[in-house]
Structure 1
């Protein structure tokens, strides 16, 4: 009897243990579910918005053309409304009036960055672009602005350096002898070299494979950073431990880029003389040494790597994609291209190279570049922001730390400020006498304290590269082909790969 009783106890104990584990798991799951649903409740006074799906919220609504979806939602819920991104309560700003109220009139309130798991993983909320609003951001922003001024746009010789890069660029295009080619590679290299001159004091050749690879990874991460997987990771960071998903590719790319940047920084800081900086890296290392005894200082080798990477990608993506769209639209609208040719030829007599002083003499060229920036919306949602303190907007209350999306696409397609915004028309930037006119609702570089610090440099590059290119070439598509103008989605809107023919115009041009 004793042996039979002992034997019967074992399976009962196992069953009880399994039942207990199952109950604990169910209770934990129920707790997490209730916790998630509580997170998804809108706070009192919060803007309304589209109804979320339980748990995942409105994440999948942003999977395709999020800027278009958000503008359509503003027509239902108003210029300011909310989204639930898997428990991350988010406010969306639409239309020029609303964006100006928040980013300009309440600039400091909307100057923070959201503490998203993705930002924490990628840059630990350090560096420059994703840094939290405060002393660290102020110090890094000041250093970057000074560096762009001292080593870039504020330097008299820097325009000549851009012009030299323009010549490398058009000479490389000339090598295709008017045959079809994809301009992405050459445009990206040429534009990134301008930023490289400021950061490293040196350009990279167009056949530098290591640098090319890094730029390609950067470009890929710009797409991956707003993919569905990235949004899911922000909502549910535990998926980091899943062996699959595009977020894993994002992290692998970042690690590879940071390792490469560390080696490049070491190479270009060799021979540095303290307090005699040759470029941004030298200037940063000076700050790092001067603040070495200050525990509150945010200057570090890690933040140097993050800052360099962010400046390279920010200085490359916007201008590169603007020029790629410009080439596509010139070939798509030959009548506009012909008028650009006439204006360039009328100003740049005897084939001389363009200078920034020619800018005010070329109102139509300026109008074309502005319309491309407006119509193509290179950075449609800007970079996500957060409130640094409680905000009051249009009668709504937005708590401190709330993530904010600024839909710049809705600003550039705001019917209140733009007549027929869905039509590509450079003429909207000209008055009745053909003079260039600035438009109020034009914010391709955003607004407020977090506006693009490289705006002046980007404008210099766009004008010089565009005029040098159109002075030398007529752009047309290969016979029988017309590429799509539907953009490739990511943090930036870039053209899908296309081929173009750059045919040498019959003019006298300056030598290489």
Structure 2
């Protein structure tokens, strides 16, 4: 009888197994590195720019005062140059001539939004501010602008509501009995309540802790969204699984805000009568019902939440920062403050509240406001854009889908259009007779189809309301 023995399996040494895993990991890492470096290559005809660090590119250069860094780079590479944000090729526009050429003369081409991982995570590229240029953007922009006209500037009663809010604001200041305090909380609430009247048809009291908390989170997220962690997340979305970092705080805040907004929207939509809207939320729900079942409609309950949150941010952050800067510069320049008060006193007799008609009779107040917006750079880099098709600018070729940053700081400090731009001087907006004069290179909220305000709030409305708020505050504090 012949017995056949099966060959015994020789165990693989542990060292060889580890070596195999190590080789596999090295090969994978090398592949990812080569892929990243290929992504970082500038395409033919692309604008030049500062040399990037391998893999991470120029991300760290934007960590602090990015608008100042970008303006300095324009002195080296020209008004249009490129950056590498971790494999995301980006074009930066500097100076009024360059910005106007792209955002005005080629507005359709530069009207899109970049498909960044952060935007996809936060709003799924819906809502208003980060919506891709197209049908959805047009639908939401049209509804927002018509709502702000109909429920806001189109109603004479709205002026009275603004004045009433200013009185609530001044009364809240009086409660401090002349002691020092940080006005940010009160200014933010007062400003936000003007927008809330349009969105919800009602204001929030200054002691509403839930609303206060939401506004604080909004402000924090605005800062986090432009932080280095946000840029890293856009370049390397896989860090979503890293349990620490500011991007995780951003996501937690967003989830909390969306839950709060959902509760608020449900509350303010109670008692709604279809086609008889009381505020923006009602108007949006009307559109949502009318387009139910229509293929391709961008109106959804989720987009309503995103839109309400973005309208609150757009209607609060810009004006809040403008008024806070205004208070600071009135304290820094008492001679300007005295002249502002003198003009207000000459127009508003017997303590009368200001109206929009008074705006034309306060050229110096108007000049001060415009100089604050120019000098303090409320939105220095605007909102990131993207090219909707291949573009040609100054002899360079910019492919479709390229992210675009507009450095509005460089526009307002463009020596070609501003004498001594580093000097705070309201007189630059006045002619020899003391009349207010608009300046061509004044773009506090960008330019073109997808500009910051035209995307969310009608620019004419805000251009009227900010001076009135400023006049009300100055008039009541004089």
TM-score normalised over the length of structure 2: 0.96
Q: Give the corresponding residue for 2:381.
A: 381
The 8 Å contact of residues 411 and 443 in structure 2, kept in 1 or not, is answered as yes
1:67 counterpart = 2:71? no
Q: Give the corresponding residue for 2:165.
A: 165
Task: Report the alpha carbon displacement of residue 179 of structure 1 after superposing the two structures with TM.
Answer: 1.9
Quote the Cα distance in structure 2 between the aligned partners of 1:142 and 1:469: 31
Residue by residue over 1:405-464, the C-alpha shift from the partner in whole angstroms, topping out at 9 and shown as x without a partner, is: 000000000000000000000010011111110000000121100121332333333222
Task: Report the alpha carbon displacement of residue 77 of structure 1 after superposing the two structures with TM.
Answer: 0.3
Quote the Cα distance in structure 2 between the aligned partners of 1:198 and 1:389: 36
Give the 5 Å matches for 1:266-285: 266-285=266-285
The 8 Å contact of residues 319 and 461 in structure 1, kept in 2 or not, is answered as no
1:140 counterpart = 2:136? no
1:159 match: secondary structure: helix
Residue by residue over 1:299-357, the C-alpha shift from the partner in whole angstroms, topping out at 9 and shown as x without a partner, is: 11110000000000000000000000000100110000000011111111112111111
Q: Give the corresponding residue for 1:461.
A: 465
Q: Give the corresponding residue for 1:46.
A: 46
Task: Report the alpha carbon displacement of residue 6 of structure 1 after superposing the two structures with TM.
Answer: 5.1
The 8 Å contact of residues 391 and 397 in structure 2, kept in 1 or not, is answered as yes
Quote the Cα distance in structure 2 between the aligned partners of 1:379 and 1:186: 21
Quote the Cα distance in structure 2 between the aligned partners of 1:69 and 1:196: 36
Q: Give the corresponding residue for 1:10.
A: 11
The 8 Å contact of residues 149 and 461 in structure 2, kept in 1 or not, is answered as no
Q: Give the corresponding residue for 1:472.
A: 476
2:422 match: secondary structure: coil
Q: Give the corresponding residue for 1:416.
A: 416
Question: Structure 1: which 4+ aligned runs deviate by more than 3 Å?
Answer: 14-17
Task: Report the alpha carbon displacement of residue 161 of structure 1 after superposing the two structures with TM.
Answer: 1.2
TM-score normalised over the length of structure 1: 0.90
1:43 match: secondary structure: coil
The 8 Å contact of residues 331 and 337 in structure 1, kept in 2 or not, is answered as yes
Task: Report the alpha carbon displacement of residue 11 of structure 1 after superposing the two structures with TM.
Answer: 3.8
Which 5+ residue runs of structure 1 have no aligned equivalent?
A: 474-504, 506-512
Residue by residue over 1:108-150, the C-alpha shift from the partner in whole angstroms, topping out at 9 and shown as x without a partner, is: 1000000000000000000111000111111111111111111
1:22 counterpart = 2:18? no
Quote the Cα distance in structure 2 between the aligned partners of 1:354 and 1:159: 9
Quote the Cα distance in structure 1 between the aligned partners of 2:360 and 2:148: 23
Residue by residue over 1:370-420, the C-alpha shift from the partner in whole angstroms, topping out at 9 and shown as x without a partner, is: 000000000000000000000000000000000000000000000000000
2:104 match: secondary structure: helix
The 8 Å contact of residues 359 and 468 in structure 2, kept in 1 or not, is answered as no
1:181 match: secondary structure: coil
Q: Give the corresponding residue for 2:397.
A: 397
Which 5+ residue runs of structure 2 have no aligned equivalent?
A: none
2:249 match: secondary structure: helix
The 8 Å contact of residues 191 and 316 in structure 2, kept in 1 or not, is answered as yes
Task: Report the alpha carbon displacement of residue 20 of structure 1 after superposing the two structures with TM.
Answer: 2.4
Equivalent residue pairs, number = 470
Task: Report the alpha carbon displacement of residue 158 of structure 1 after superposing the two structures with TM.
Answer: 1.2
1:150 match: secondary structure: helix
Give the 5 Å matches for 1:80-479: 80-451=80-451, 452-453=453-454, 454=457, 455-473=459-477
